[in-house]
Chains A and B, each alone.
Chain A
Amino acid sequence: MSAKKTKSRPAGKRFAASEPQLRPERELRGIIHHVLRIAKAGGVAETEVHVEEVIDALTRFANNTIHQNVAEHGVTVSIRTVLDGRTARVTTNRVEEDALRAAVENCLSLAASQPKDAYLLPMPGKQSYLKVNRFSPATAKISAEERARAVKRACDWAEKNGQVAAGIFSSGQAQSVAGNSRGLVAAYRQTQAEFSVTMQQGAAASWAKANAGDVGRIDPIGLAKTASEKVARAQDPIELVPGRYTVILEPAAVLDLLGFLFYDFSATAVDDKRSCLSGRVGKQLLGKNITITDDVYHPEQMGAVFDGEGLPRRRVTLVDQGVIKDLVYSRHSAKKARTTPTGHGFALPNDYGEAPMNLVVAGGNSSIGEMIASTERGLLVTRLWYIRDVDPYEKLMTGMTRDGLFLVEQGKVGRAVRNFRFNQSILEMLRNVELLSPAHRASGEESFEMVVPAMKVSHFQMSEVTKF
């Protein structure tokens, strides 16, 4: 670099600092075609290419001020080759000719390093996909300044109420194009925005969050007010003895727990006997008021409509009125089970097969207010934290309540309660659901977004108490 040259050409002024935008889809398709040509010229039997582009920005605040503010822009090219019954994957973010050529060669070399796989399937051919529109131009254009102004309003609200705000406001756009040498081409793009806020007042904290494809569906100040009002009620918590409680789980708490059930619905996990559903498919394992589907086409869901091999995702009923109805299948696990793939496979090669990624839990007709009103004595739970498997077959999970736990007595929300550690089987919990609210898209911090209801659950096991 020449300092003189830089000064003689005002480099800093030549570059507009506007928000970056996604490349035209044809450029990503061009990369795929280029890789396929390189591989074909090299005698590769089959080649699959995924190109992904991500533009994300996130404004982070704490102590009523912005303390971190970041942006990223990147493209990755992921290549899988098959030659003589052997496959491997190489991923790079370099898109120039020599880098792509080297990636193909590395992939072939890796693949050749292993024994032949007699069960490796040929790549799928051309597919057809249902169209979804999950790209919001307004969300793609939101600027750092707009995010900062929204954050400032939330922080000002906190200050006005003697509280301290922390959280994030993020926005982003992404596109993914997949193609293979058998003619499959799949493309998807989406935008996403998220606002999460924790309000602190003294030793108490509360939290609210929303995530959507369209930033217009997110109300930062509304979320800030929700958390603000809740933390004001969360002062001076009382300590209750551990034991079995009736709990009213707000949607975020339901979501973060159920998130740990995802991988159990993988046919590969069941075949590996590491799923809690091993030996339980077809049985009435949960309550009759529990129905769960995986549905990428649900209007409140997000994500690509094709899987890691480019197969279209199908809507799958996983639980029907408490009966474990079906699993999700990749092409490999479907062939092994002599059934049809559901379009939930991960990119090959992998150990885990597949998983449902777009859970929709059927809701009921009760509002959270009605759940509270119907409760003689119980706990209202805002969210859960640090959830981990304790017993994988009983799906016994541990974790903490966090950011707003309240005693419910005689149909009313009362004093705040010190946070509990729970040790609770998800399977048992889903047999003890008494009431469900209507289901909507919700966000937690431990699992990805789902469409879930709030739930009133009896006999929820609280094991120990913490100090706040």
Chain B
Amino acid sequence: MWDYCGHSLDVARLRGATYADVRVMHQRQRDLTTKNGKVGTLGQSESIGLGIRVVAKGAWGFASSDKMTRDGVAACAAQAVAIAEASALAKKENVRLAPEASYVDSWQGPCRKDPFEIPVEAQLALLLAADAAMRRVKGVTLTEADMQFRKIDSWFASSSGSKIHQRRVTSGCGIAATSFQADSIQKRSYPNSFGGQHILGGYELIETMDLVRHAPQIAEDAVALHSAAACPEKTGTLILGGSQLGLQIHESVGHPIELDRVLGQEANFAGTSFLTLDQLHHLRYASPIVNVVADARIEHGPGLGTFGYDDEGVPAQCIDIIKGGEFRGYLSSRETAHLIGLQRSGGTVRTEGWNRLPMIRMTNVSLLPGSWRYEDLIADTDDGIFMETNRSWSIDDRRYQFQFSTEIAWEIKNGKKGRMLKNPSYSGITTEFWNSCDAICDAEHWVLWGTPNCGKGQPMQTMGTGHGASPARFRNVQIGKAFSNE
């Protein structure tokens, strides 16, 4: 692979590139699903190819190809330079990259049990057992279970001398029970909706999740939701479970801090951000108990945003995003770092695969644990609603106004968790919401959740991101507007 990397860099240089970096990636994936007691999807895929990014005539070009021959990668490099020269026809300034040392290294993420070495029979048997446990509950009309595994080897080389090999294995699993009655569809998922929990790691995740043990409860919840009271419409106290809070962080902190959005580079598709450059170090983003970091280091945990080096060859870092409630940092790249006064990129440039241009993406954007024991938080709440497991999510294109709905909720009355509520939702304005946070649970309840399906860019790229969160309480939140008919 290094030969292909080196040859493509040579060709790019000969063609006139002043900088080039190249990624050869070998991606393997296994997808298993069951539905209503039968195997649904059963597939495996692999893809190998090369993508080269160059600066020529002061502008960017990128080309990718799966022709893994010396001639193939050379043609690809030549095409990247030709594209950069075309870009130069409509450039304003020359590309400027923050300095970065060169590295020769190999990094491998944690993986105790390689999921590709576990027999598929065993994996399907587990899914079918969980599926059967859900179907035993009367009133369940659809049961689904899934596992997904990826193994990605990447070889990164740059014209400034870096040569970095990385291997990342990710694993994910989840189950869902759906109940259709009369004029309503109710669904419960475990450990999270939309595919469950995903981490950087191996089959040990699947064993930890214990899908079969949790299957009956979520099936019973799905059926019970039909007879639950509807979530009221009111302004009140809201407690969010960890996985829902993880998605709240993703949408209302993770995306607005992407510096490419802030600079207008995503204006046509994903949108821009309310976090204009003048807000840095000035905006009171959240209440003083809120601390958020973007941490790609393994010390933070085995998240979908954990790596050794980003796809520009910059080592993983931990960046303060919100500290004591104040807005402290953006996600940056080598090209954008200087715009916020940084001497160096924050190391948050990532690519979906060999055929996609690396761009600023979330790493693990996490809310650090607070000091509350979960039991104390509930006991301290006189009147509130606890919402858990995302059902839908939406936020405007500058990341101000959001609305989330969850699969299930419970009333909190006089310090105790009470009756179940169906069709819960809440909405608000990002900074008002985060400034209303008055309690965050401690590290015992903190989980690094994986979001495997974050979309961004044109052409679209899907990326896995991590979000550590523990349950937290918010005051004076608009609840129940989604189902309001007024």
Q: Which residues of A contact B (CB under 8 A)?
A: 1, 3, 6, 10-17, 20, 56-76, 87-94, 106-107, 109-111, 113-115, 117, 143-145, 147-149, 151-152, 155, 164, 166-168, 170, 196-198, 200, 205, 207, 243, 272-274, 278, 349-351, 385-394, 396, 398-400, 402, 419, 421, 423, 445, 461, 463-468
Q: From B46, B91, B393, name the one whose CB has the most chain A CB atoms within 10 angstroms.
A: B46
Does the CB pair B267–A17 fall under 8 Å?
no
Checking A89, A385, A463 against B396 with a beta-carbon cut-off of 8 angstroms, the contacting residue is A385
Partner of A390, one of B44, B121, B263, B483: B483
Q: With A92-B46, A207-B268 given, can you name 5 additional A-B contacts, CB distance below 8 Å?
A: A58-B459, A65-B90, A114-B39, A167-B268, A402-B271
Q: A61-B90, A393-B185 are in contact. Are A117 and B7 (CB under 8 A)?
A: no
The chain B residue sitting closest to A107, CB to CB, is: B44
CA distance A17 to B44 in the complex (A): 34
8 inter-chain pairs at a CB distance below 8 angstroms, sorted by A residue, are A12-B77, A58-B459, A70-B459, A106-B44, A114-B121, A164-B264, A391-B185, A402-B396
Nearest CB of B to A252, in Å: 13
Complex interface bits, B66-89 against A, C-beta within 8 A gives 1, otherwise 0: 110011001111111111111101
- From B11, B66, B84, A75 is in contact (CB under 8 Å) with B66
Contacts A11-B11, A93-B47, A398-B403: A196 and B86 contacting too (C-beta < 8 A)? no
- Do residues A92 and B47 form an inter-chain contact, with CB atoms below 8 A? yes
Q: A70 to B35, Cβ gap below 8 A?
A: no
Q: Which of A349, A396, A402 contacts B39 (CB 8 A)?
A: A349
- The segment out of B200-208, B373-381, B423-431 that lies at the interface is B423-431
A272 vs B269: C-alpha distance when bound (angstroms): 34
Q: Contact check: which of A64, A74, A464 meets B65 at CB < 8 Å?
A: A74
Contact, CB under 8 Å: B180 / A466 = no
Contacts of A464 in B (CB 8 A): 401, 403, 427, 478, 481
B394 with A388: CB separation less than 8 A: yes
Say which one of B56-64, B292-300, B342-350 lies at the interface with A: B56-64
A390 to B268, CA, bound (A): 26
Q: How far is the CA of A198 from the CA of B429 in the complex (A)?
A: 24
Number of A-B contacts (CB under 8 A): 319
- CB of A23, distance to nearest CB on chain B (Å): 11
Asked if A421 and B427 sit within 8 Å, CB to CB, the answer is yes
**Minimum C-beta distance from A14 to chain B (A):** 7
Q: With A198-B267, A464-B481 known to touch, is A400 a contact of B394 (CB < 8 Å)?
A: yes
The docked-state distance in angstroms from the alpha carbon of A400 to that of B70 is: 49
Residues of A near B7 (CB, < 8 A) are: 1, 6, 11
B484 near A: Cβ within 8 Å?
Answer: yes
Question: Which residues in A have their C-beta under 8 angstroms from that of B83?
Answer: 57, 69-71, 144
B14–A11 touching, CB < 8 Å: yes
Q: Does B414 contact A (CB under 8 A)?
A: no
Q: Return the contact of B86 from the options A144, A167, A272 (Cβ within 8 A).
A: A144
Whether B11 contacts A91 by the Cβ 8 Å rule is no
A349, B32: Cα distance in complex, Å = 10
The answer to whether the Cβ of B3 comes within 8 Å of any Cβ in the partner chain is yes
CB-based contact B185/A273 at 8 Å = yes
Task: Give the CA-CA distance A15 to B60 in the complex, in Å.
Answer: 20
Closest Cβ of chain A to B91, distance in Å, is: 5
In the assembly, what is the distance between CA of A423 and CA of B233, in Å?
14
* Given known A92-B46, A168-B458, contact A66–B87 (CB-CB < 8 A): yes
Contact residues of B between 1 and 34, Cβ < 8 Å to A = 2-3, 6-7, 10-15, 33
Residues on B with beta carbons closer than 8 Å to the beta carbon of A145: 85-86, 89
Cβ of A466: which chain B residues have Cβ within 8 Å of it? 396, 398, 400-401, 429
Question: A90: which of B11, B43, B78, B395 is its contact (CB, 8 Å)?
Answer: B43
Given known pairs A10-B14, A62-B267, A117-B39, the reply for A68 and B483 (CB within 8 Å) is: no
Whether the pair A17, B263 counts as a contact (CB closer than 8 A) is no
A301 to B70, CA, bound (A): 40
Q: How far is the CA of A88 from the CA of B274 in the complex (A)?
A: 47
Residues of chain B within 8 A (CB-CB) of A205 are: 267
Quote the shortest CB–CB distance from B119 to chain A (angstroms).
7
Task: Note all chain B residues with C-beta closer than 8 A to A168.
Answer: 268-269, 458
Given contacts A12-B74, A62-B264, A421-B403, contact A113 B121 (CB under 8 A): yes
Q: Which residues of A contact B3 (CB under 8 A)?
A: 1
Which single residue of chain B is at the shortest CB-CB distance from A119? B38
A461 interface neighbour in B10, B64, B81, B485, Cβ under 8 Å:
B485
Contact partners of B265 in chain A: CB under 8 A: 62-63, 67-68, 166
B66 touches A148 (CB 8 A): no
Contact (Cβ within 8 A) A74 B66: yes
Contacts of A68 in B (CB 8 A): 60, 62, 265, 357, 359
Residue ID in chain A nearest B67 by CB atoms: A73
Complex contact A398–B396 (CB within 8 A): no
CB-CB nearest in chain A for B484: A463
Once A12-B15, A467-B274 are accepted as A-B contacts, the answer to whether A72 and B90 lie under 8 Å apart by CB is no
Contacts of A94 in B (CB 8 A): 46, 48, 66
Interface residues of B in 110-137 (CB under 8 A from A): 119-121, 124
